[in-house]
Every structure is written in structure tokens, then in C-alpha cells.
Amino acid sequence: LLANLSLLDTAYVSNTAPQVLVHLLAPVRTMPYGACLTQIFFLHFLAPWECFLLTAMSYHRYAAICQPLHCLVLMGRRTRTGLASISCLLALANALTHTTLAALLKFCRPRLSTHFFCDLPPLLKLSCSSTQANELTLFFFSFLVALAPCTLVVISYTHVVAAVLRIQSAEGQRKALSTCGAHITVVCIFYIISVLCYILPSSAYSGL
């Protein structure tokens, strides 16, 4: 799971950073619609996949701390492979749905976006056709990709904290919590950025 997460982070940055650098250096900052759709596909494939993997890793922390004697059984090779595969398939379904609906949008003329890379919320503001299907799909998948996994992470760490508090020694509590610190930090950063990007009111894009 950790190897998959590191590869995802590298791919995620590679999907957005080069285009941002090009726009910073180029005098004319344009992007073909096909390239925009490609960036949307990978963005909405890699980000949900990372979200699902972080959820699977929180379950791993739960198994390691709350069920230490059964951890190798609960998180065996078959389980890890299954979790990674299911995460990939769900993320792929999310990306294909959003990209297909975005490809059906109509644009009356070239429009200007002040966003620094191509993503769905600012793209919907530029369309002159109905975006109701896109917005409903975005809302549904936002629940599937963000709220549901976040709830599972909270449940896992609620059990972890309860188990840590039952440990008698302070040293034991410290060691148990130290195994979760890095994961909690990554989860917090991921969800804070997601909230800032996707759960802000639509007025955030009023300048488009």
C-alpha cells in the first residue's frame, strides 16, 4: 500500500506541475481542450485512488494496534492486493464518468479561465450548455470519494485512540501513536486541500 501511495503522489504531481510551470513561463497561456480533458481524467483518477488507499492504510493501523495478534491475517497479501485493486477500479470509474460528461459540454467561443490548471469546477463555469448532470455527478462522487472514506478513517482512529488509552505505560502509548503520526498528517493535508478545492462555494470561481 505504501509503495502504491508513493507512486500515486509522484504521478499526481506530474499531472499538474508541468502545466503550471508552462503557464508561468509562456507569454500565451492556452491549453487545448483534449489536453484539458486528459488532465481532468488523471486528476480524478489519481486523487480518489489516493483517498481510498489512505482509507485502507487507516484500517491497517487499526489492525496493527487494536488486533495485533491477527494483523498478519487481516492485512495479508491477498487483502492488500484486493484493497488496492478495488481502490483503483473505483477511482477509474470516477475518472471515466467525469471525463465523459465533460467531453459532452458545449462551449460557444474560446473562454478565459483564471484557474492555474484544468479542473471540473472552473470548466463548468465556462460551458454554455447545461451542466446539471455534471454537477449532480460531481456531488455524488464527492460523497463516495471524500465523505465515505473520511468517515471510515475517523472510525478506525476512534478505535485506535481507545486502544491506546487502555495501554498502561506512557512509553507504550507513545510507541503506538508514533506508528500513526505520519499517516494522520498525510490524511489531514489531503482532506484540507480537497475541502479548499471542491467544497468552497461556487462564488470562489466567480472571476472566471
111 conformational bin, left if phi > 0, alpha if psi -120 to 50, beta if neither: beta
Identify the pLDDT of residue 110.
Answer: 62
Full residue range of the structural domain in which residue 81 is found: 2-205
Q: Domain count of the chain?
A: 1
**Phi, psi angles (nearest 5°) of residue 3:** -65, -40
Name which of 100, 101, 119 is nearest 205 in CA terms. 119
Mean pLDDT across 76-94: 89
Burial letters 124-149, b for 16+ CB under 10 A, else e? bbbbeeebeebeebbeebbebbbeeb
Q: Which of 11-20, 22-31, 47-56, 186-195 has the lowest mean pLDDT?
A: 22-31
CATH number of 196's domain: 1.20.1070.10
Q: Residue 34: pLDDT band by 50, 70, 90 thresholds?
A: confident
Report which of residues 151 and 33 the model is more confident about: 151
Q: How many helices (H) and strands (E) does the chain have?
A: 8, 0
How many Cβ atoms sit within 10 Å of the Cβ of residue 192?
Answer: 10
- Taking the model in full, what pTM does it have? 0.78
